[in-house]
Structure 1
Amino acid sequence: MTQSHDPRIVAAPRNPWIVLICAAMLVTIAMGIRQSFGLFLRPIEQDIGLGREAFGLAVAVQNLILGLAQPFVGAMADKHGAGRVAAAGGALYALGLALASMISGAVGLNLTLGLLVGFAMTGVTFVVAIGAAIRAVPPQKRGLAAGIVTAGGSVGQFLLVPVAQGLIGAFGWRETFLIYAGLAGVMVLLAIGVAGRPAQPVTGHAGAQSFGEALREAAGHSGFWLLNAGFFVCGFHVAFIGTHLPAFLADKGLDPAIGARALALVGLFNILGSYVFGMSADRWRKKHVLSGIYLARGVVMALFLAFPITALSATLFACALGFLWLGTVPLTSGLVGQIFGVRYVSTLFGIVFLSHQLGSFFGAWGAGYAYSVTGSYDFAWQVSIVIAVLAALLHWPIKDAPLPRLQAAE
């Protein structure tokens, strides 16, 4: 397997374990809260009369803002360090959730859960956290580091989704938003653990690269655009299922607790999946593993729909999909670092993540729109299966060797 090397980067003087733990905990809280939003759909629908398309649009706006802002926030983390960016993100996340508890209509939901939370998440999720983590470890451990941080999101999903269901049932959705706003504030403290400016390239080396050169280099590489296309599919899957699976299962006559349990199981099994795929990023060709993940997703979805929807089938589906859920993140970020080096990894992965969030926009809003038009989620499921197969095909031809400037610097 081709390993990623960028010897021009001077190791940052931070304890790698502190960085890894704090980065993983940032993602644990940020993604754990985020993955619980689907549970708020029906209570908000019943309380203030917002339809599923309106709720789906708010989540779609959130994902779109997260994607559009991510390359710029990633560039800020590359220049000023992850700590400052994460602290600002945590504070804004808490504010967005607190204001979401006061909404009375679609406009308020879009401004709070959509705009504010979407922008806040740019500083406390994968791009910034993984960028800090992989800079703190040797090249041969970067895939594992990315996998550990990614697994943090799954731990959060496993822990915080059931808690959200219990809080909504006991206190209501408004009070739950307030409680989670307090939890989001903890991320401001965790940001201290990933603080510090990224190490700079050794001056005078022939392989030194400017920010603009990095962007032009990536834009001229076909593999960069194939990664963008594949991550669009990942975003569609994650947003569609994370936002609409509880409602889909409820439509099939299952207890709402089954939907919450399904999302929690997705998170639980992705802890294992993120770790396994993170290790695979250091052992096998990442593009081949990515192709396998997307193809397996399509198969799992097709099998789920081929049989009657029951509590058992929902559980099995959640476990299988959970194993595949975010395994794409350490592999995709690892490929970016492997091909282009890690100096501008947050910026370049931020651009790829923009594509992911464009997919998330269509997954969250498009599925809700399809439901409002057809009265079912059948079309959204069919699209999900087709694009899964397409993504499997797109990753295979990626040229994954480190660029000549990195090889020359060895």
Structure 2
Amino acid sequence: MSATTQPGASPAAPARLRPPPLWLLLAAGGLLVAISGGVRATFGLYLDPVIDDLGSDRAMYGLAIAIQSIVWGVGQPIAGAIADRFGAARVLGAGAAIYAVGLFSMAAADDALALHATAGFLAGAGMAAASLSVVLASLSRLAPADRRSQALGIATAFGTAGQVALIPLTQWILDTSDWRTAALVMGVILVAMAVAAPAFRGSAEDQTRPDERSVAPLTPLREDLRKARYSRGYLLLNTAFFVCGFHVTFIATHLKSYASDLGQSGRVAAWALVLIGLFNMVGSYSAGVLGGRYSKTRLLSLVYGARAIVIAVFVLVPAGSATTLVFGAAIGLLWLTTVPLTSGIIAAQFGTANAGALFGIVFLSHQVGAFIGAWLGGYLADSTGSYDVVWWLSVALGVMAAVIHLLLDEGPAPDPPPPGQRRVILAPATNALFVVVIGFAIVATVQLGADATAAESTGFDVTSLWCPLHPAWLS
């Protein structure tokens, strides 16, 4: 018997999905991002075995990871928009399948082109859909507002929990078998993501909590995109997140090779990556908690500034296994702490209706940085015989990102100007001054680092620092 509508009564509202319990969302989301992030973190372990097997160089493998990063970045806003409209569960499931195919195909790669197509394009496309960003966008809608920042921090912490288990497993397979077997095993593990994806079923409209839906109706994506285009805070956020991508991808891809150049075993670098994962869980959770109490922009400024300090100290102090392990722990505390804070700023600026697409655009900027970090690290290491310049560039970029977040407003984005009227994002004089100061800081820091490294190689005491306007060493 079909239901009828009484005369004068309004049509019944469409049925809404009841949000799963928060603990179930966190468990499912944790499994998804742990597997996706854990497998992704193993790619740095393949560098030396792959180039030895294929007879290539670090730039070739770096380009494969760079392609992976940019495909992931370009695909992220697309995957986010599809997930917002048609449901995150479908996107996560499809992404896991593509990701697994990429690993299976990578195991059969016998030249650079095949590696770029499999580990680069296919794996990158799978990462875009089966990603932390899609999970965070859904969580930002499904979690209660007063627990949202904490939930995002917990989910982000799981992003590196997987590497704590999968990096030692991959290194063990590399020691006892070969890199092709390791890739096959990682592909099988990716299939397990299909178990947790259904927890995030439903579109953005379905997932929006009833208390928030009644306060603020869903905003069309086109309107939010236009608002974002004219938002100074959103544009600065894109610029700063570029630095995060550069840092994490350069380190994840090249740390093992850098440690090998210093005479350290592959196991030392592998354990350093494990420590990154362990300490990231503490850092990301703490960032989520602190982000609910303090200014997210100020916290991000501290994170990027601390990264610059940690990297500078790592390069300047005498090399050793203990130094590499301590670096892994220290940088791990700052590893993905940027993600819940950045995601939280976007939710505060634009709401949660189009969070997947808007965070996806910011994440594209992150992946452009990742592309440059992965490829440039390998290219400069091959051409100069050292990673030193890239390390010091990382320091300079960290300083730049710290300054940018001091200029960033995390409040609601203002309405866009009327058609035909332009809004000044930064006053011309302020913009020019900002470019000059940041440019000088980058050049001076890289020059300082290059001189410090050269001086250290000659036995000079690198603890005696100098004015960056006069970079010549004084004897």
Q: TM-score, normalised by structure 2?
A: 0.81
Residue in 2 aligned with 1:304? 314
Structure 1's consecutive aligned runs of 4 or more residues displaced over 6 angstroms after TM superposition are 201-206
- The offset of 1:219, in angstroms, is 1.0
Give 1:179-218 correspondences, 5 Å limit: 179-199=185-205, 208-218=218-228
Q: Which amino acid aligns with 1:351?
A: I
Q: 1:334 aligns with which of 324, 337, 344?
A: 344
CA contact (8 A) 1:11 1:135 kept: no
CA contact (8 A) 2:20 2:199 kept: no
Q: 1:80 aligns with which of 80, 83, 86?
A: 86
Residue in 1 aligned with 2:77? 71
Q: Which amino acid aligns with 2:391?
A: W
CA contact (8 A) 1:71 1:346 kept: yes
Q: Which amino acid aligns with 1:308?
A: P
Distance 1:205 1:176 in 2: 50
Residue in 1 aligned with 2:237? 227
CA contact (8 A) 1:23 1:132 kept: no
- The offset of 1:238, in angstroms, is 0.4
Give 1:127-146 correspondences, 5 Å limit: 127-146=133-152
Distance 1:369 1:403 in 2: 40
Distance 1:404 1:48 in 2: 53
Matched, 1:156 2:162: yes
Q: 1:53 aligns with which of 32, 50, 59?
A: 59
Give 1:71-110 correspondences, 5 Å limit: 71-110=77-116
Q: Which amino acid aligns with 1:296?
A: A
Structure with the bigger RCO (C-alpha within 8 Å, sep 6+) is: 1
Identity score, percent: 40
Give the RMSD, CA atoms, in angstroms: 1.6
CA contact (8 A) 1:11 1:199 kept: no
Q: 1:390 aligns with which of 384, 396, 400?
A: 400
Q: Which has the larger radius of gyration?
A: 2
- The offset of 1:124, in angstroms, is 1.6
Q: Which amino acid aligns with 2:71?
A: I
Q: Which amino acid aligns with 1:19?
A: L
3-state SS, counterpart of residue 109 of structure 2: coil
- The offset of 1:133, in angstroms, is 1.4
Residue in 1 aligned with 2:470? none
Distance 2:219 2:303 in 1: 33
What 5-or-longer segments of structure 2 have no aligned partner? 1-15, 416-475
Q: Which amino acid aligns with 1:58?
A: A
- The offset of 1:199, in angstroms, is 2.5
Q: Would you say how many aligned residue pairs link Structure 1 and Structure 2?
A: 396
- The offset of 1:325, in angstroms, is 0.4
Residue in 1 aligned with 2:183? 177
Spell out, residue by residue over 1:187-239, the C-alpha distance to the aligned partner (whole angstroms, 9 max, x if none). 12221122222226799988552110010011110000111011000000001
Q: Which moved more, 1:133-142 or 1:199-208?
A: 199-208
CA contact (8 A) 1:66 1:122 kept: yes
Distance 1:343 1:277 in 2: 23
Distance 1:266 1:312 in 2: 14
Residue in 1 aligned with 2:376? 366
Q: Which amino acid aligns with 1:255?
A: S
CA contact (8 A) 1:75 1:346 kept: yes
Q: Which amino acid aligns with 2:311?
A: M
Residue in 2 aligned with 1:42? 48
Residue in 1 aligned with 2:119? 113
Residue in 2 aligned with 1:276? 286
- The offset of 1:401, in angstroms, is 1.5
Distance 1:207 1:188 in 2: 32
Q: Which amino acid aligns with 1:350?
A: G
- The offset of 1:50, in angstroms, is 2.2
Residue in 1 aligned with 2:22? 16
Task: Assess, with a 3 A threshold, how the Cα gap between structure 1 residues 208 and 131 changes in structure 2: closer, same or farther.
Answer: closer
- The offset of 1:14, in angstroms, is 2.4
Distance 2:398 2:302 in 1: 10
Residue in 1 aligned with 2:171? 165
Distance 2:411 2:330 in 1: 31
